[in-house]
Amino acid sequence: MKYCYFFFWTWWIWTLAIGLPILAVVTWCRWRQAQTIFLWRIILCVIFACVIAPTIMQEDDWGNPRLIDIFPAIRMPLLLALAAFSGRGWFHGWQDWFGVLWTILCYSIFPIFVVSMVSFVYWTTIIRRRERLIDVV
């Protein structure tokens, strides 16, 4: 089976251009607190995940090469909000809104959660190992 990848470079550039300065400012202001307080560490990891977490969607084109879209996970709620409030009347009942919420959960919240938890566990492990080394010496 053939695959065709779309990486959406412009979306990634915009996400990095907006997200990295926000991450830098919050990190600069709260670095010392993040070393000792779990809440600030989680907040920094969630902001970091919002900047770099990818969403991967597969589209089947009925015999044509399978399309695989890779774009920032933070863009999915924005795209669905634009679709919901565009005035075209796509969402009529609660079933449509349930589908929108399910799509946001699967393609946005889950990737951001996974990236933020992996980075949080990695960062916490590094801090704990440093504390052990300091206690030993």
Q: Where are the beta strands (DSSP E) in 13-92?
A: 54-59, 66-72
- One-letter amino acid at 84 equals A
Which residues partner with 69 through β-bridges? 6, 57
How far is residue 28's CA from residue 48's CA, in Å, rounded to a whole number?
13
Residue 64's domain comprises 3-136
Contact call for residues 95 and 102 (beta carbons, < 8 A): no
Side-by-side strand order, sheet with 54-59? 3-6, 66-72, 54-59
* Residue in this structure with the two tokens 């946005």, named with its chain if needed: 108
User: Is residue 1 pLDDT above 80, yes or no?
Assistant: no
Using one digit for the tens of pLDDT, what is the confidence trace for 27-75? 999 999 999 999 999 999 999 999 999 998 887 666 666 778 889 999 8
Number of domains forming the structure of the chain: 1
User: Is residue 25 pLDDT above 90, yes or no?
Assistant: yes
Structure tokens at 15: 């996400």
pTM: 0.82
